[in-house]
Amino acid sequence: MTTQQNKEINEFLDKNYEFGFTTEIDSETLPPGINEDVIRIISSKKNEPEFLLNWRLKAFAYWKTLKTPEWSQLNINPIDYQSISYFSQPKQTNAPKSLDEVDPKLLETYEKLGIPLHERAQLAGVAVDAVFDSVSVITTFKDKLAEAGVIFCSFSEAVQDHPQLIKKYLGKVVPYRDNFFAALNAAVFSDGTFVYIPKGVRCPMELSTYFRINEAKTGQFERTLIIADEDSYVSYLEGCTAPMRDENQLHAAVVELITLNNAEIKYSTVQNWYPGDEQGRGGIYNFVTKRGDCRGNNSKISWTQIETGSAITWKYPSCILRGENSKGEFHSIALTNNLQQADTGTKMIHLGKNTKSKIISKGISAKQSQNTYRGLVSMAKGASDSRNYTQCDSLLIGNKSGAHTFPSINVKNSTSVLEHEATTSKISDDQLFYCQQRGINEEDAIGLIVSGFCKEVLRELPMEFAVEARALLQVNLEGAIG
Amino acid sequence: MSIEDKIILKIRDLSVSTDGNQILNGLNLTVKKGETHAIMGPNGSGKSTLAKTVAGHPDYLITSGKIKFLNKDLSSMSVNERSNLGLFLGFQYPIEIPGLSNTAFLKAAINAQRKFYDLEDISAHDFLLQLKSTADQLGLDQSFLSRGVNEGFSGGEKKRNEIMQMLMLNPKLSILDETDSGLDIDSMKVVARGVNSSRSEDSSTIIITHYERLLNYLVPDYVHVFFDGKIIKTGNLELANELEKKGYEWLIQKK
Ligand SMILES: Nc1ncnc2c1ncn2[C@@H]1O[C@H](COP(=O)(O)OP(=O)(O)O)[C@@H](O)[C@H]1O
Ligand SMILES: [Mg+2]
Q: Which pLDDT tens digit goes with each residue over B179-200?
A: 988 888 888 888 898 889 888 8
Owning domain of residue B202:
3-254
Which are the contacts of B121, defined by CB distance < 8 A and separation ≥ 6?
Answer: B111, B114, B115
Q: Do B77 and A440 touch (CB under 8 A)?
A: no
Contacts of A1 in chain B (CB under 8 A): 58
Q: How far apart are CA A276 and CA A338, in angstroms?
A: 9
Weakest mean pLDDT among A34-43, A435-444, A472-481, B29-38: A472-481
User: What percent of the residues of chain A are helix, what percent strand, and what percent coil, each to the nearest 5?
Assistant: 25, 35, 40
* Contact between residue A248 and residue A339 where contact means Cβ atoms under 8 Å apart: no
Q: How far apart are CA A445 and CA A441, in angstroms?
A: 6
DSSP E strands: which ranges in A213-299? 222-228, 233-241, 248-251, 254-259, 264-271, 283-294
Which are the contacts of B128, defined by CB distance < 8 A and separation ≥ 6?
Answer: B103
Q: How many residues does chain B have?
A: 255
Instruction: Report, as an integer, the average pLDDT of A256-271.
Output: 95
* Contact between residue A411 and residue A418 where contact means Cβ atoms under 8 Å apart: yes
* Contact between residue A63 and residue A180 where contact means Cβ atoms under 8 Å apart: yes
CATH label of the domain that carries residue B62? 3.40.50.300
The residue among B75, B91, B100, B174 with the most chain A CBs within 10 A of its CB, best to mutate, is: B100
Other C-beta atoms closer than 10 Å to the C-beta of A253 total: 23
Average pLDDT, chain A: 85
Whether residue A8 is predicted with pLDDT greater than 60 in this model: the reply is no
Q: Do B78 and A436 touch (CB under 8 A)?
A: yes
Q: How far apart are CA B128 and CA B143, in angstroms?
A: 13
- Collapsed DSSP state (helix, strand, coil) of residue B87: strand
Among the atoms of ligand 1, which is closest to the Cα of residue B43? 23
Q: How far apart are CA A245 and CA A220, in angstroms?
A: 15
End-to-end CA distance of chain B, in Å?
38
Angle at which helix A180-188 crosses helix A50-64, to 10 degrees, equals 140
Distance from CA of A373 to the nearest CA of B (A): 21
Instruction: Report, as an integer, the average pLDDT of A215-241.
Output: 87
Task: Name which residue sits closest to atom 16 of ligand 1, judged by CA.
Answer: B46
Whether residue A5 is predicted with pLDDT greater than 50 in this model: the reply is no
Which are the contacts of A121, defined by CB distance < 8 A and separation ≥ 6?
Answer: none
Instruction: Name which of A39, A469, A81, A448 is nearest A239 in CA terms.
Output: A469
Instruction: Name which of B101, B119, B100 is nearest B110 in CA terms.
Output: B119
Helix or strand run (H / E) with residue A344: strand A341-350
CA distances from A313 to A138, A272, A342, B237, B254 (A): 27, 11, 5, 65, 69
Of A1, A430, A440, the CB nearest to B112: A440
B80 shares contact with chain A (CB less than 8 Å): yes
* Contact between residue A471 and residue A465 where contact means Cβ atoms under 8 Å apart: no
Note the pLDDT of residue A263: 98
Instruction: Report, as an integer, the average pLDDT of A54-70.
Output: 93
Chain B residue nearest residue A454, CA to CA: B99
- ipTM comes to 0.96
Ligand nearest to the CA of B50: 1
pLDDT per position as a tens digit, A451-460: 999 999 998 9
Distance from CA of A431 to the nearest CA of B (A): 6
Confidence of residue A130 (pLDDT cuts 50, 70, 90): confident
Whether residue A207 is predicted with pLDDT greater than 50 in this model: the reply is yes
Note the pLDDT of residue A466: 78
The better pLDDT of the pair A202, A19 is held by: A202
The residue among A438, A443, A460 with the most chain B CBs within 10 A of its CB, best to mutate, is: A438
Weakest mean pLDDT among B118-132, B215-229, B233-247: B233-247
Instruction: Report, as an integer, the average pLDDT of B81-96.
Output: 96
pLDDT per position as a tens digit, A349-362: 999 999 999 999 99
CA distances from A12 to A444, A456, B84, B115 (A): 12, 28, 21, 19
CA distances from B90 to A116, A284, B19, B34 (A): 46, 46, 24, 18
* Contact between residue B88 and residue B174 where contact means Cβ atoms under 8 Å apart: yes
B102: left (phi over 0), alpha (psi -120 to 50) or beta: alpha
* Contact between residue B35 and residue B204 where contact means Cβ atoms under 8 Å apart: yes
Of B76, B81, B98, the CB nearest to A453: B98
Please spell the DSSP secondary structure of A179-192, one letter per residue: -HHHHHHHHH--EE
Other C-beta atoms closer than 10 Å to the C-beta of B141 total: 10
Whether residue A17 is predicted with pLDDT greater than 80 in this model: the reply is no
What's CA A210's distance to the chain center, in Å? 10
* Contact between residue A250 and residue A79 where contact means Cβ atoms under 8 Å apart: yes
* Contact between residue B200 and residue B211 where contact means Cβ atoms under 8 Å apart: no
Among the atoms of ligand 1, which is closest to the Cα of residue B92? 21
Q: In what order do the strands lie in the sheet with A327-336?
A: A135-139, A126-132, A206-212, A233-241, A264-271, A300-307, A327-336, A356-366, A387-397, A417-426
Strand A264-271, strand A233-241: pairing? parallel
Distance B113 CA to ligand 2 centre (A): 27
Q: Residue A3 gets which letter from DSSP?
A: H
Whether residue B62 is predicted with pLDDT greater than 70 in this model: the reply is yes
- Is ligand 1 within 6 A of the CB of residue B20? no
Query: pTM value?
Result: 0.86
Q: How far apart are CA A440 and CA B84, in angstroms?
A: 9
Instruction: Name which of A286, A226, A288 is nearest A254 in CA terms.
Output: A288
| H-type alpha helices, A21-141 | 36-45, 50-64, 104-112
Residue A2 burial by CB count (10 A; 0-12/13-18/19+): exposed, middle or buried?
middle
Confidence of residue A111 (pLDDT cuts 50, 70, 90): low
Spell out which residues have Cβ within 5 A of ligand 2, the ion.
Answer: B 48, 92
3-state DSSP of A165-179: HHHHHCCCCCCCCCC
Please spell the DSSP secondary structure of A367-427, one letter per residue: TT-EEEEEEEEEE-TT-TT-EEEEEEEEEEESSS-EEEEEEEEEE--SS-EEEEEEEEEE-
Whether residue A16 is predicted with pLDDT greater than 60 in this model: the reply is no
- Is ligand 1 within 6 A of the CB of residue B48? yes
CA distances from A445 to A154, A253, A436, B93 (A): 41, 35, 7, 19
Domain boundaries in chain A? 20-428
- Is ligand 1 within 6 A of the CB of residue B47? yes
B113 shares contact with chain A (CB less than 8 Å): yes
The residue among A5, A424, A437, A450 with the most chain B CBs within 10 A of its CB, best to mutate, is: A437
What's CA A283's distance to the chain center, in Å? 16
Among the atoms of ligand 1, which is closest to the Cα of residue B208? 21
Q: How many helices (H) and strands (E) does chain B have?
A: 10, 12
